[in-house]
Amino acid sequence: MMSYPKDRRALRCARSRVWRFYNLSFPVVFAFLLPRFAVRMVRRGGYWRHFWERITLYDRSTRRNLNRVTGFRVWIHAVSVGEIFVALRFIEEIRRRKPDSAFVVTTTTSTGRAVAEKQLGGGDLVLYFPVDRPWLMKRLLRLVRPSLVLLVECEMWPNLLRYCTFSGTPVVLVNGRISDHSYRNYCKLRFMTRRLLPMVDLLCVQGQTDRERLLRLGAPSERTVVVGSAKYEVPAGGEAVFKVVERVLGGVGFRGRTLLVGGSTWPGEEEALVMAYKQLRPEHPELRLILVPRHVERTGEIRAMLESHGVRYILRSSVGSQSGPDDYDVLLADTTGELRGFYRWADIVFVGKSLTQRGGQNFIEPAQLGRPVITGPNPQNFPVVARDFRDAQALLVISDGQELFETIRRLLQDPALRQEYGRKALEVACRKQGAVRRTLEQIRSRLSLEL
């Protein structure tokens, strides 16, 4: 593990008495949140496998792999699926520049872990991020021995940063952003954030608003730089998933139809899409609807909704094994990892968590495939990206279910308009690339690392 010279301010912040308060209060807060976390584990599934990694207890194979690598090792923490794809893009570029690099990726969710395990090479490791306790972070740092720690978006845990500071391990925030909701919460904890942020050696953020917010929370101005969004460089999907989805669509009679895809949808959004579909189907008999909910465990409630509306549907997991009519209205994706494949074959895309919820999901993915994108009025999680698309008039923003219906109808009636919005979206996605390269150049020049 390399040692990076930390400045006095970082060391002073790492030794602050406020962390005693944090470490004493953490078990109380954790115990309060544990029931909700346990319910989530049961509902979403997949959490029990490798559960003990959350307290840094690893099997023999993992310990052997951790001990095997002695060269340049990068630890990347990415909380879930979206951040994992950003992490994978950084891994790809670092490995291109420095082929002998090895990577340890930590994540919080079972879906994030599944994606990382599928994409990473045999020499890399995927682990669950442990509970932020002092002895656990010290142990994991001692096992990983990172030459560099990259934190994706806004994952800054106090004990991780403190012990990276004590050990002289350089820490960089990549693709940094701070949402409206997070900023309001952090403002209440500024007595902690002004001691936390100086322990990060470099903060590479998506936009000027992110930079200004972090500066108000205590980030050093000379270390906080705007590089753009790395989401633009996440690949839009590979041929393997495209071919799998193509076979699925053929199996339910959807190939050659006009496909409306609702991606990463949240409660209420599926019903809005179904209601729009039912109104449009008589006018456009070739129209079919594909629903890809953000959380697969909601499949039961979505099925009940579909049945109440009297539409014929089939589950993605049943394709090839279930007999029935070959003229389904709706394909409900009750599996994970294929969203980009469905975007590939879509004619119109609605991206969720934006109509009935606040925050938004990533609409760069369908844009990279040249698809016209509809979103609700609440894409707060992607302010920089949303502004880029709005400035280029490459995004269709609707405010309610009626506007959703009217917008889909307009796109169905005018194929040239669909093509125009898809072209504009693709142009934005291509033009805004470069954040990964700019971030690595900042790391190389400011931290004197050979990247």
Active-site amino acid positions: 83
Quick one: residue 168, left, alpha or beta (phi over 0 = left, psi -120 to 50 = alpha)? left
Enter the tokens of residue 196: 């936390």
Q: Using CA atoms, how far apart are residues 89 and 230, in angstroms rounded to an integer?
A: 8
Look at residues 173, 178, 229, 177 and name the one whose alpha carbon lies nearest to residue 198.
173
β-pairing, 102-107 with 73-77? parallel
Q: Which helix (H) or strand (E) holds 175?
A: strand 171-176
Do the Cβ atoms of 363 and 373 come closer than 8 Å?
A: yes
Torsion sign over Cα 387, 391, 395, 401: positive
Of 53, 45, 71, 69, the closest CA to residue 126 belongs to: 53
What tokens appear for 116 in the block?
A: 């990382």
For residues 47 and 53, give the distance between their C-alpha atoms in angstroms, rounded to a whole number: 11
**Cβ atoms < 10 Å from Cβ of 158:** 22
Nearest-CA neighbor of 267 among 180, 354, 381?
Answer: 354
Structure tokens at 289: 């609807």
Phi/psi at 205 (nearest 5 deg)?
A: -115, 165
Query: CB 41: neighbour CB atoms within 10 A?
Result: 14
Residue whose token pair is 């925030």? 173
Dihedral pair phi/psi, residue 433, rounded to 5°: -75, 160
Closest CA to 444 of 68, 133, 172, 77: 172
| DSSP result, 17-30 | THHHHHHHHHHHHH
